[in-house]
């Protein structure tokens, strides 16, 4: 292996490790921020326990999938039985983060080609399970709004303490809004210095108009003064 190929391989490994920082470097200050977000979610509604929620963003490449993978990890580290569902049926990425196969997943279960118990995969994080997207379908919105999806959500709640859904950007397609109407809450991920303010406000409006409770926003990639760290913040 020549030096360039070796460097690219090492960069890829480092990138994947950074994606799951809460597991690979649990004492890192950024990992602590994920635990803070978890705590904020748990105390965001004293009247109803938040067991199911989605993460979305206004646009692509804003850190949504990295955030939800680390959130799922810190929930599992708390001793809860966690299911992370890749409901981005257009550009799924969760299987890359956890080094999983994506032959059998959410779309297979929704089309009754597989049973939920068969499609769920264990991860290297204790207590954390993943339901990958499965093959990309021609009709994602229709699948997510189907009666089968409602039934599947009930089955998930019978088996898991916490269920997190990674969804596509809310301004691009209707998928996130469809799922937001079926879960306990929703969270908007904003990339500091990148996310357009008007787009963020529009995304917030769409989530607020859904039946689920808008739990707050996560601002990521904000550089702290006098530090090389980029923190992830949770806000109510």
CATH of the domain at 220: 3.40.50.300
Q: pLDDT by residue for the chain (236 residues), tens digit each?
A: 555 544 444 334 334 444 788 888 888 888 888 999 999 988 877 678 899 999 999 988 888 999 999 999 999 999 999 999 999 999 999 999 999 999 999 999 999 999 999 999 999 999 999 999 999 999 999 999 999 999 999 999 999 999 999 999 999 999 999 999 999 999 999 998 788 889 999 999 999 888 778 899 998 876 655 444 444 444 43
Closest CA to 41 of 156, 187, 154: 187
Q: What total number of domains does the chain contain?
A: 1
Task: End-to-end CA distance of the chain: give it in Å, rounded.
Answer: 49
Quote the pTM value: 0.86
pLDDT value, residue 168: 96
Interval 145-181: pLDDT, tens: 999 999 999 999 999 999 999 999 999 999 999 999 9
Q: What is the residue range of 109's domain?
A: 3-235
Burial class of residue 82, CB neighbours in 10 A (0-12, 13-18, 19+): buried
Q: Would you state the pLDDT for residue 130?
A: 98
């Amino acid at each position: 292996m020549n030096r360039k190929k070796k460097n690219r391989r090492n960069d890829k490994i480092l990138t994947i490790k950074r994606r799951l920082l809460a597991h690979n470097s649990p004492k890192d200050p950024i990992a602590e921020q994920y635990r803070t977000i978890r705590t904020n979610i748990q105390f965001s509604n004293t009247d109803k326990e938040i067991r199911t929620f989605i993460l979305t963003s206004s646009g692509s490449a804003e850190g949504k999938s990295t955030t939800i993978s680390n959130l799922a990890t810190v929930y599992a580290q708390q001793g809860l039985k966690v299911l992370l569902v890749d409901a981005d049926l257009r550009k799924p990425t969760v299987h890359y983060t956890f080094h999983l196969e994506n032959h059998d997943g959410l779309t297979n279960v929704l089309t009754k080609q597989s049973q939920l118990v068969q499609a769920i995969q264990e991860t290297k994080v204790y207590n954390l399970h993943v339901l990958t997207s499965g093959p990309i379908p021609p009709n994602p919105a229709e699948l997510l709004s189907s009666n089968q999806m409602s039934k599947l959500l009930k089955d998930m709640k019978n088996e898991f303490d916490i269920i997190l859904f990674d969804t596509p950007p809310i301004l691009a397609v209707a998928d996130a809004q469809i799922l937001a109407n079926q879960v306990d809450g929703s969270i908007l991920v904003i990339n500091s210095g990148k996310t357009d303010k008007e787009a963020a406000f529009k995304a917030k409006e769409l989530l607020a108009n859904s039946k689920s409770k808008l739990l707050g926003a996560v601002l990521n990639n904000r550089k702290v003064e006098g530090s090389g760290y980029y923190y992830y913040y949770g806000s109510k």
